[in-house]
């Protein structure tokens, strides 16, 4: 394939903006880049590679001639438009949750299960951001000795809810510092100087949707339908990059030094540990980085076959846009586009 004709659906959002930046930075050969969004932002001009490109309202015709569509405009928008994009001849990589658990749709983290791309039928799903960060960090261990159980606690930044949520948290911080009531149009409660359990819908067992995504998507990506996973997801007043505390249990003891060596060599992982300085991964240092920062690995003192670890990762980048671009790179390399 000579040059790729690429469309970004949701180009004006948090993930869309990062997709644009990554397309500038990385080496996908672009012949055309089409920026699609809702009528709200149609007509805007966005900077790209020293030029500006117009944002166009998504429509039936908008996908004609495209090889690849990178979608980051939410689940209902993906459901409405991706079948049309695929019918027009494009392959779509979707950042929303719309198709993730569809049996016919590969759910891919390129460091973990790139081989699943071979079976795509036009749509490929990018996993949930917390799941991507967790699977990048745990796969190097799981592939050596299968994990039996994961207990995760997440510390999720405002940007996980999109660009308007980031702006709202800044406004909340200013309002609180000025003794005014903080605005809560996007979030249900103030996030600045506060935290709350993830505000996605709860199921009858008391788990929220975000937590169940970590359970179900990890099983699908690892091809481990019986893997036991339990998560508690929390929004914290961090602007960008999520963190996770992971307790993992194996069948037999997993020596800490072996885990450290494996993670030190793992693709997509950067080891960050300085025990003298109490220096470990932090969201501020993970922001803008491709790698998931992993550290603070230690033996679980409550279980002989358990390990504890801590990570921070940029969920807009590796948790969404970068993962999608890496998928596109594999598709191109393996001749799986078009």
160 among annotated binding-site residues: yes
**233 is an active site residue:** no
Output phi, psi for 8, to 5 deg: -115, 115
72 among annotated binding-site residues: no
Number of alpha carbons in the 13 Å side-chain half-sphere of residue 178: 10
Which region among 38-46, 249-257, 265-273, 303-311 touches ligand NAP (by CB under 6 A)?
Answer: 38-46
Q: Which is nearer to ligand NAP, 72 or 216 (CB)?
A: 72
What is the residue whose two structure tokens read 């602007």?
239
Please tell me whether residue 96 binds ligand NAP under the rule CB under 6 A: yes
Q: Which is nearer to ligand NAP, 94 or 273 (CB)?
A: 94
Distance set, CA 108 to CA 87, 120, 123, 247, 321 (Å):
22, 11, 11, 23, 13
Whole-angstrom distance, CA of residue 219 vs CA of residue 127: 11
Please tell me whether residue 315 binds ligand NAP under the rule CB under 6 A: yes
The beta-carbon contacts of 40-48 under 8 Å, at least 24 apart in sequence, are: 41/12, 44/12, 46/11, 46/12, 46/20, 48/20, 48/23, 48/24
For the CB of residue 213, give the shortest distance to ligand NAP in the complex, in Å.
10
What is the residue whose two structure tokens read 């001749």?
335
Whole-angstrom distance, CA of residue 71 vs CA of residue 118: 20
For residues 34 and 20, the answer to whether their CB atoms sit within 8 Å is no
Give the residue, chosen from 5, 23, 53, 95, that forms a contact with ligand NAP under the rule CB under 6 A: 95
**242 is an active site residue:** yes
Output phi, psi for 200, to 5 deg: -85, 160
Please tell me whether residue 135 binds ligand NAP under the rule CB under 6 A: no
Closest residue by beta carbon to ligand NAP: 13
Which parts of 50-79 interact with ligand NAP (CB under 6 A)? 58, 72-75, 77
**Which residue numbers are catalytic?**
129, 242
Annotated binding site for NADP(+): 12-15, 40-41, 159-160, 315
Q: What are the binding residues?
A: 12-15, 40-41, 100, 156, 159-160, 235, 315
Which residues contribute to the site for ligand NAP (CB under 6 A)?
10-16, 37-38, 40-41, 58, 72-75, 77, 95-96, 129, 159-160, 162-164, 315-316, 319-320
């Amino acid at each position: 394939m000579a040059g790729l004709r690429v469309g970004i659906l949701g180009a004006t959002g948090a993930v869309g903006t990062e997709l644009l930046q990554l397309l500038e930075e990385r080496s996908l050969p672009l012949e055309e880049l089409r920026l699609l969004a809702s009528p709200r932002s149609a007509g805007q001009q966005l900077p790209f590679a020293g030029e500006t490109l117009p944002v166009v309202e998504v429509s039936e015709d908008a996908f004609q001639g495209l090889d690849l569509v990178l979608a980051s405009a939410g689940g209902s928008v993906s459901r409405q438009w991706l079948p049309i994009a695929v019918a027009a001849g494009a392959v779509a990589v979707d950042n929303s949750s719309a198709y993730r658990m569809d049996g016919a749709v590969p759910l891919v983290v390129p460091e973990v299960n790139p081989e699943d791309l071979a079976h795509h039928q036009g749509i490929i799903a990018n996993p949930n951001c917390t799941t991507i960060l967790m699977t990048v960090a745990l796969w190097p261990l799981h592939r050596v000795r299968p994990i039996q159980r994961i207990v995760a606690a997440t510390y999720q930044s405002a940007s996980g809810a999109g660009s308007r949520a980031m702006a709202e948290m800044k406004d909340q911080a200013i309002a609180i510092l000025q003794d005014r009531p903080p605005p809560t149009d996007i979030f249900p409660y103030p996030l600045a100087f506060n935290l709350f359990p993830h505000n996605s819908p709860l199921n009858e067992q008391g788990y929220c949707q975000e937590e169940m995504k970590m359970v179900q998507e990890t099983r699908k990506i690892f091809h481990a339908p019986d893997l036991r996973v339990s998560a508690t997801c929390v929004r914290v007043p961090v602007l960008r990059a999520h963190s996770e505390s992971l307790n993992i249990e194996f069948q037999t003891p997993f020596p800490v030094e072996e885990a450290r060596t494996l993670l030190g060599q793992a693709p997509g992982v950067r080891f960050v540990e300085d025990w003298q300085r109490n220096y470990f991964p932090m969201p501020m240092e993970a922001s803008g980085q491709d790698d998931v920062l992993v550290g603070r690995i230690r033996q679980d003192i409550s279980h002989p076959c358990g390990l504890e670890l801590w990570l921070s990762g940029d969920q807009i980048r590796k948790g969404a846009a970068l993962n999608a671009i890496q998928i596109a790179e594999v598709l191109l390399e393996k001749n799986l586009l078009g």
